[in-house]
Structure 1
Amino acid sequence: MALTLDTYRLLGRSGLRVSPLALGAATFGTEWGWGAERDEARKLFDRYTELGGNFFDTASTYTNGSSERLLGEFARGDRDKLVLATKYSTLRRPGDPNSGGTHRKSMLASVEGSLRQLNTDHIDLLYLNIWDFRTPVEEILRGLDDLVRLGKVLYVAISSAPAWQVSRMQAIADLRGWSPLIAVETEYSLIERTAERDLIPMAREMGLGVVPFSPLGGGVLTGKYRREDRDRAGSVAGETANDRKSLNVALGWVTDRNLAIADVVKEVASELGRTPAQVALAWALNAPGVTAPIIGARTPAQLEDNLGALEVDLTPSQLARLDEVSAIELGNPHATLASDHIRTVTSGDMKIEIRG
């Protein structure tokens, strides 16, 4: 059954309704060398909202602030209809030790800056962007709760953090009556499934919606990479800045394993008369626990192609092939707990049905 952008999903254990595909605004602005100019970004925004899309993802430092500024400009006419998600913790001013990090000073300053750049009086969803291993979790949670109580933020969430820290924070928030986390943003795609070990099961158990970023594996799953591209890498921060393909090679995404996965994606896409990007996104859209993968189009044509994933129905055999070629090792203790030996010594021949 085909989805549409206005077939909304609840985000985590909240009543917040969001589209099944979020539109990433990291491509709004060209400061990073590969984004969309203002007029092109406006076309992306207009087409997405025209189809009922309401969920936007940005951060205080995306494209040096242009992402938030352009998104705020475009959203001005229909602000209340939209769910604007932004993030804090990345360094806003190099050389200023408190302009980044997860602590209260960084949090408040970043939120105030985002409110100005987005030209709004509240942020719908605020993510802690990157875990810094330095700030006490009570300081983070109390700061987030204070922002909610002040009305500057409506919901809080977390990105790029260890599962054990997220679950610990959620338990503390519940016990103290502070605002709970309602979402976890994590890298997740056919070429990066390690979130299945702990993050995604934790999210499902603790009431967090999963919002995957890079569901196309940096573009590797679109089928545009070849094995000879592995020789194109330069430094991550230097000469590759204006060449997204070389940057992805430098980041280690173009490997034999990932290209083999992309080959199966292309085979399935050919069978369905679809594009590889649509197949890869459809897999992520229907993965257990996932609420809304983030798409990051730079052109209207890319956006239309990505949105076509909503209409893709993968057969059980196609899903099995995709799962098999992209399978990961569960690791300890997950592999042991899932083994036939453990099932035998704990349950024997008993049949136990889990309901609800």
Structure 2
Amino acid sequence: MPHTQTPTQPISQYFTLGRSGLRVSRLSLGVMTFGTEWGWGSDKASAQAIFDQYVDAGGNFLDTADVYTNGTSETWLGEFVRARNLRDHLVLASKFTFNLGERNANMGGNGRKNILRAVEGSLKRLGTDYLDMLYLHAWDQITPTEEVMRTLDDLVRAGKLRHIGLSDVPAWYAARAQTLAEWRGFEPVSALQLQYSLVERNIEHEFTRMGTELGMGIVAWSPLASGLLSGKYKPNEKHEGRLAIMQGSSNPAFQYMTERNWGILAELEKVANEIARPMNQVALNWVANRPGVASVIAGASTPAQLASNLAALDFAIPAELVARLDAVSTPVTPFPYYFFTNAMQGMFYGGATVGDKPAGYRAPVLVSGNGAGVA
């Protein structure tokens, strides 16, 4: 069954994030492109224009990390915010985990020493006393969950953080972190920042339901698959830009040029043509309207790119076209998740029709915005 589209939503419409009271734009501005240290991205004048364009349109949710462009992203973002005296109007999110290039074992990972160091560094570069959201950037496979959650809770109690989130972690880790928070009275996890797009849908196996059940809103990163779904890449052509630059790297997050993905791209182009919308807008719209998604991070290297991205929620994709996109991009369902499909579930009851409890059986669950966020 295709997912129901929500009504059109301007960028200035805010949804609460997870079970928190933090109100964020449905499209977040990713500022990993602020700076040219990595061989691509925006110079300072272009970055300033992109920032101004986003906030002038009503956007309030900005995403960066200490590691982005070696700290330039945070530094420029902080300058832009201060220049317009917008700190209280904006939701600033940053991340920690990655080592910034120094040969120091404790300047990376998720241990207490590095978290405290990273937060102080981010606050200094951003020129602010607090972060609205801090994400653990990736699971380091070493640090006990208890140490991470206690440290983040201490930072919230100290007034340096308002809310906390997790990015790029296993589902069991996120569930354990949230359970610890509930059990010990720590600050709960409000957001899960995860890769999600038409070509990367594996979070649907577990994270979507987990986030809904445990009160963590999904913030989708790379909704355009590093530009693949923007329409500027074609099979059997010479490619330029970030995706082409990173294609030969060891980073799996940029390895998108596959036969499967070219097929998804072809169907996306057909759907976009049928509704007379650019491919990037259709791809962003599809992600924003998936179950459990609270916000989508849309980056841009130029004001023109951002202008197109900001229009991605101004329309609804017809249900039959959503179904076509769903069908062409459906990932393989591995064990044990195929046990949870409708075909297998039907075997549990011998063919009898079994439904969920009727409305009113239990107290209603508070949902974010119009339900597209998370319970």
Is the TM value for this pair above 0.5? yes
How large is the Cα RMSD of the aligned pairs? Answer: 1.6
Are 2:40 and 1:34 aligned? Answer: yes
1: CA distance between counterparts of 2:242 and 2:170? 31
Are 2:333 and 1:334 aligned? Answer: no
Superposed displacement of residue 210, structure 1: 0.2
> In 2, are the aligned partners of 1:86 and 1:127 still within 8 Å (CA)?
yes
The one-letter amino acid of 1:296's match is G
Selected match of 1:268 from 264, 267, 271: 271
Aligned twin of 2:244: 245
Stretches of structure 1 that go unaligned for 5 or more consecutive residues are 233-239
> In 1, are the aligned partners of 2:338 and 2:344 still within 8 Å (CA)?
no
Aligned twin of 2:202: 194
2: CA distance between counterparts of 1:329 and 1:83? 36
Aligned with 1:310: secondary structure? Answer: coil
1:47-86 correspondence runs (5 A): 47-76=53-82, 77-86=85-94
Selected match of 1:308 from 308, 311, 330: 311
Superposed displacement of residue 341, structure 1: 4.5
> In 2, are the aligned partners of 1:218 and 1:248 still within 8 Å (CA)?
no
- CA change 1:101–1:341 in 2 (3 A) is closer
Q: Answer with 257-266 or 275-284: which moved more.
A: 257-266
Are 2:193 and 1:185 aligned? Answer: yes
1:42-191 correspondence runs (5 A): 42-76=48-82, 77-191=85-199
Higher RCO, 1 vs 2 (CA within 8 Å, ≥6 residues apart)? 2
| 1:126-168 deviations in Å (ceiling 9; x for gaps) | 0000100100111000000000000001101000000001001
Superposed displacement of residue 337, structure 1: 2.6
Q: Answer with 35-44 or 248-257: which moved more.
A: 248-257
1: CA distance between counterparts of 2:267 and 2:334? 25
Q: Answer with 198-207 or 329-338: which moved more.
A: 329-338
- CA change 1:46–1:347 in 2 (3 A) is farther
> In 2, are the aligned partners of 1:90 and 1:100 still within 8 Å (CA)?
yes
The one-letter amino acid of 2:134's match is L
Superposed displacement of residue 339, structure 1: 4.4
Aligned with 2:265: secondary structure? Answer: helix
| 1:32-66 deviations in Å (ceiling 9; x for gaps) | 11111111101111111011100000001100101
2: CA distance between counterparts of 1:295 and 1:249? 24
1: CA distance between counterparts of 2:244 and 2:15? 33
2: CA distance between counterparts of 1:116 and 1:191? 37
Percent identity of paired positions between Structure 1 and Structure 2: 44
Superposed displacement of residue 19, structure 1: 0.2
| 1:237-277 deviations in Å (ceiling 9; x for gaps) | xxx9x854242465421111111101111111111111000
The one-letter amino acid of 2:173's match is Q
2: CA distance between counterparts of 1:244 and 1:133? 28
Aligned twin of 2:233: 225
| 1:105-138 deviations in Å (ceiling 9; x for gaps) | 0000000000000000001100000100100111
Q: Answer with 73-82 or 338-347: which moved more.
A: 338-347
1: CA distance between counterparts of 2:279 and 2:266? 9
1: CA distance between counterparts of 2:100 and 2:248? 27
Superposed displacement of residue 347, structure 1: 6.0
Aligned with 2:311: secondary structure? Answer: helix
> In 2, are the aligned partners of 1:284 and 1:290 still within 8 Å (CA)?
yes
TM-score, L = length of structure 1: 0.94
Superposed displacement of residue 308, structure 1: 1.4
2: CA distance between counterparts of 1:340 and 1:60? 45
Q: How many residues align?
A: 347
TM-score, L = length of structure 2: 0.89
Structure 1 ranges of 4+ moved more than 3 A: 248-251, 353-356
Aligned twin of 1:237: none
Aligned twin of 2:21: 15
Superposed displacement of residue 312, structure 1: 2.4
2: CA distance between counterparts of 1:178 and 1:117? 27
Stretches of structure 2 that go unaligned for 5 or more consecutive residues are 1-6, 365-375
